[in-house]
A and B are shown apart, each in its own frame.
Chain A
Amino acid sequence: MFKAPGGLNELSNSLLQIWNDQIQAQISRQLADGLGSRFFVSNPNDIPGGLEINGVKWAGAPAEPGFCLDRIWAQRLSDWGVRGRHETQNEYCEYVVRYAVDSTGRMRPKRIEFTSELREYWVLLAEHDPDALKRAAKDVLGSTPSWSELYGHPDPKSLTQQQRRIAFGFNTAGHGNYQDMYQAGVPGQPSGAINRENLLFMTHPINGLDDLIYVVMFGATPYRVMEGGVPRKAFLQEIFRQFDVEQLACRNADPAAAAGPYNAVWDGRSVAFSSNLGMYLRPINIEQFEYSGSQIPDEWIRFSRGQDGMYQRLSFGPSDSDDAFLDDIFILQGASRVKISGGFQVAELLEVGPLVVVSAPSSVEEDDYQEIAASPSPINCREARVCQTMRDLKSEYENSLGMMSTGTRTLSRAGSF
């Protein structure tokens, strides 16, 4: 039913079955909580002649620091190494800047690695097939890591499956908001270097398969409101308000992931996740990047970890064998020509999203509609609770660099508008 994300050939038949079981368990849990409608279908094969669409997508750049602070701070905080990644990169697109020493001995950014690989897939490999995990890691890293680098344990095959899960969580995956991981004391972010410095897969707790399933099912109901006795399609902010999850409307991922199925069900279409369930990076426009007065070489944009249309990894910038560096590249937007200093500038142009399958349109019966309260006004995202976290992060950043802030524009304008 569901294949490995990206169409990768890394799962044995038994592992594929476990992957499917996990997905179904997530879906069943959400159905039991009352999410979805008759239009949401658990098995994409149950939509005969279904059309796979890639239109559910959003900008990969972190939204929260932008709407809480401003774009300058969004770039600073998102590009703030491991700390920035862990605190801000929650739009199903995480990135790491790789550094290298240039010919003068100076450490400089070399390239950016982006990933949209789901944590749950890698944990599956880690739990059930350590050898497959090693092979996948080698595919990403280019070399085979040790067991200790992956598990923080020299012999994971001597551990039970659950022990491997926990060890891998501590070292490489973080808890992903899973209860058993919490209870075992696994932190939100891993402590091992391999996925902190090398970006194997996403680790932010809300970049998970469970949240993706939740928000797509959340959108798969034809909500409507009555205004002056006349029914109309509910706006997305009304739906988020109705269910007291307003903060989701302020992000990039959640509204887009809900809107796609929402538009479909209003057309009476059944919706399911594609059998290629995963999160995929979309093409970027090479014409917006310049090196030495010309367009950057094609090979400086390298998609991988999947088949065409289902890539989960992007390496942007020169390879190690190339003399150039990331900060030799200019990003061209409008009349501006700015050196690339980190991943945020490219993430702003990188869209990410899943694939879904929809049926042909049909009629929506009166009983299908779920009526909610009309509340069309915009949500003031600057009042979201997460904004205090962003302000605290800003203070931490300023303190770390010995900065004094008297306003959002008193600091240098590096990489700004």
Chain B
Amino acid sequence: MVTQEIQDGIIIERGEKPRGHFKALFLDYDPAFITLAEVDLALSSLWAMWDGLRKGKAPDLPSDHPVDPEGFQVMLGFGQRFYDDFEGEVTHRPHGISDRWRFLSPGARVDRSILPGSGLRYAPEVSHNAADVPIFVQFTADSELAVQRAHRETIRYLEGVLANEGKLHIKTSANGFGRSDKRSWITFHDGISNIRKGELRRQVVGIKPENAADQVWSLNGTYCVFMKVSVELENWKVLDQRRQEMLVGRTMFSGCPIISVDSNGTLITDLRCPVPGTKEVIERGNERFREPPDAVPEIIKLSHVQRANHHRQPFFRVDSRRIYRQGFEYLDEYDARVDVGLNFVSFQDDPDRTFFILTQPGWLGNVNFGGDPSTNSVGEENLLSVLMAGNYFVPPSTSGERFPGSSMFEPLIA
């Protein structure tokens, strides 16, 4: 019996441990100089190598000298360019891969927004969207060595081991790390109202019969939305704590949700949070305060946490607009300049969940981060900028396939 499961590298079940290290590879080719068969061959070999790493088999060591895989996981996704470049040859095209769920190029709109109606814009120095690639690979592991080794071996394979002649190559990559303190570069807690592990997370992530329609082969596949988001900390630091808390929707230190503003302008939090004996909302006993309440005045509704999640149910319906976030922070250095931010990674059974959030009024449409875009300061409307963004179909792990999605290459490939 054929089985289809959500790929590794996406934390679904209780007991699965999130990895602390992240690497994304963006693979590209020139479609004029590569065939589908060559892509298939390359991916087959790479997947075998990556699977070896997952099992402790380093390519440069004999099998009786295993390495500690250190929780290494690999996930493979396909962007729209793959389906466009091989249209007519690829047997399957998933519903959620189309221009409707494709990020714009940086110059497409005068305001450089990533999507029509979004308040997120490409950074001024970005001239093209480097994440608009045919193949996306995510490595996660418990150590930096494990992800960097996988990166290095991928380079070695593409440049030497495979008779690739450089046709398939790594266009760019992204590094990242998890934070055990559940905070982000702006100091506030981040991702704490994420969907809990287990059945509900699975219902958000995995493509179900309802989404799949006639595409049975996509069941338990998912879509990965990736954005490398740079945070302009200088714009953030000029804001006082109260203003920051207003924009976020949580208190800075405890992470408790802001629920009101009194007549003096003082922000009011739920007095029950954090529970006695604790200091932060991430501590045991504070679970009910991690999801901000619905019943808040309009001014609080404009905060980031309220805009991003409207607490709708049931989660398995796309209209709930719930997504599962599995992002990683980053710090890059170029020319003595340090850039910090977030590798935003979300998984959902339909990319419309995320694209709707990013573009609709009352959600994150028209606003850069939080607050009211018509009254926000220039700095507040330029807190975040995007370096690259992509939407990828992540095929299910299907028994008998050479790599996730390999059936797309058949029956053309003998």
B314 touches A378 (CB 8 A): yes
B362 touches A351 (CB 8 A): yes
Minimal Cβ-Cβ distance residue in A for B259: A361
> Which residues of chain A are within 8 angstroms of B115 by Cβ–Cβ distance?
333-334
Minimal Cβ-Cβ distance residue in B for A58: B319
Minimal Cβ-Cβ distance residue in A for B101: A334
CA separation between A57 and B315, bound complex, in Å? 15
Q: In the complex, what's the smallest C-beta–C-beta distance from B355 to chain A, in angstroms? A: 6
CA separation between A59 and B353, bound complex, in Å? 12
Minimal Cβ-Cβ distance residue in B for A309: B298
Q: Is the interface of B mostly helix, strand, loop or mixed?
A: loop
CA separation between A284 and B102, bound complex, in Å? 20
> Which residues of chain A are within 8 angstroms of B310 by Cβ–Cβ distance?
55, 57
A377 touches B199 (CB 8 A): yes
B209 touches A380 (CB 8 A): yes
> Which residues of chain A are within 8 angstroms of B208 by Cβ–Cβ distance?
378, 380
Chain A residues in contact with chain B, CB under 8 A?
A: 51, 53-55, 57-59, 63, 67, 69-71, 235-237, 249-250, 252, 255-256, 259-260, 262-264, 267, 269, 282-285, 287-288, 332-337, 349, 351, 358, 361, 376-382, 407-409, 417
B95 touches A70 (CB 8 A): yes
Q: Which of B28-36, B47-55, B289-297, B336-344 contacts A (4 or more CB under 8 A)?
A: B289-297
B314 touches A235 (CB 8 A): yes
List B279-327 residues whose CB lies under 8 Å from chain A.
293-298, 301, 310-317, 319-320
A255 touches B316 (CB 8 A): no
B365 at the interface (CB under 8 A from A): yes
> Which residues of chain A are within 8 angstroms of B301 by Cβ–Cβ distance?
55
CA separation between A349 and B209, bound complex, in Å? 24
A69 touches B313 (CB 8 A): no
Q: Mark B210-229, 1 if CB is under 8 A from A, else 0.
A: 10011000000000000000
B313 touches A335 (CB 8 A): no
B100 at the interface (CB under 8 A from A): yes
Query: Can you name 14 A-B pairs with beta carbons within 8 Å?
Result: A249-B317, A250-B317, A252-B319, A255-B320, A260-B294, A263-B293, A282-B361, A287-B116, A287-B366, A334-B100, A335-B99, A351-B360, A376-B200, A417-B98
**A287-B366, A335-B108, A379-B314 given as contacts; is B293 within 8 A of A267 (CB)?**
yes
> Which residues of chain B are within 8 angstroms of A334 by Cβ–Cβ distance?
98-104, 115-116, 355
B18 at the interface (CB under 8 A from A): no
Q: In the complex, what's the smallest C-beta–C-beta distance from A163 to chain B, in angstroms? A: 42
Q: In the complex, what's the smallest C-beta–C-beta distance from A151 to chain B, in angstroms? A: 38
B99 touches A288 (CB 8 A): no
List B318-376 residues whose CB lies under 8 Å from chain A.
319-320, 355, 359-362, 365-366
CA separation between A90 and B73, bound complex, in Å? 45
B214 touches A70 (CB 8 A): yes
List B25-48 residues whose CB lies under 8 Å from chain A.
none
Q: In the complex, what's the smallest C-beta–C-beta distance from B267 to chain A, in angstroms? A: 16
**A53-B294, A282-B362, A380-B210 given as contacts; is B117 within 8 A of A255 (CB)?**
no
Select the residue from A63, A71, A332, A409 with max chain B CB neighbours within 10 A: A332
> Which residues of chain B are within 8 angstroms of A70 by Cβ–Cβ distance?
95, 213-214
Selected contact of B210 from candidates A237, A269, A382, CB within 8 Å: A382
B203 at the interface (CB under 8 A from A): yes
**A59-B319, A417-B95 given as contacts; is B213 within 8 A of A259 (CB)?**
no
> Which residues of chain B are within 8 angstroms of A377 by Cβ–Cβ distance?
199
B270 at the interface (CB under 8 A from A): yes
CA separation between A358 and B95, bound complex, in Å? 40
Q: In the complex, what's the smallest C-beta–C-beta distance from A39 to chain B, in angstroms? A: 12
List B108-155 residues whose CB lies under 8 Å from chain A.
108, 113, 115-117
CA separation between A267 and B210, bound complex, in Å? 32
Minimal Cβ-Cβ distance residue in A for B321: A59
Q: In the complex, what's the smallest C-beta–C-beta distance from A251 to chain B, in angstroms? A: 9
A283 touches B361 (CB 8 A): yes
Q: In the complex, what's the smallest C-beta–C-beta distance from B13 to chain A, in angstroms? A: 13
CA separation between A67 and B318, bound complex, in Å? 10
A349 touches B360 (CB 8 A): yes
CA separation between A55 and B362, bound complex, in Å? 9
B316 touches A361 (CB 8 A): no
A67 touches B314 (CB 8 A): no
Q: Which 9 A-B pairs have the closest CB atoms?
A: A378-B316, A336-B99, A332-B116, A236-B313, A417-B98, A335-B102, A285-B117, A335-B99, A336-B100
Q: In the complex, what's the smallest C-beta–C-beta distance from B143 to chain A, in angstroms? A: 34
**A51-B297, A260-B294 given as contacts; is B117 within 8 A of A288 (CB)?**
yes
> Which residues of chain A are within 8 angstroms of B209 by Cβ–Cβ distance?
380, 382
Q: In the complex, what's the smallest C-beta–C-beta distance from B120 to chain A, in angstroms? A: 13
A285 touches B355 (CB 8 A): no
List B55-101 residues whose CB lies under 8 Å from chain A.
95, 98-101
B295 touches A269 (CB 8 A): yes
Q: In the complex, what's the smallest C-beta–C-beta distance from B136 to chain A, in angstroms? A: 17
Selected contact of A417 from candidates B100, B200, B359, CB within 8 Å: B100
> Which residues of chain B are within 8 angstroms of A382 by Cβ–Cβ distance?
209-210
> Which residues of chain B are within 8 angstroms of A267 by Cβ–Cβ distance?
293, 295
Select the residue from B100, B101, B295 with max chain A CB neighbours within 10 A: B295
Minimal Cβ-Cβ distance residue in B for A332: B116
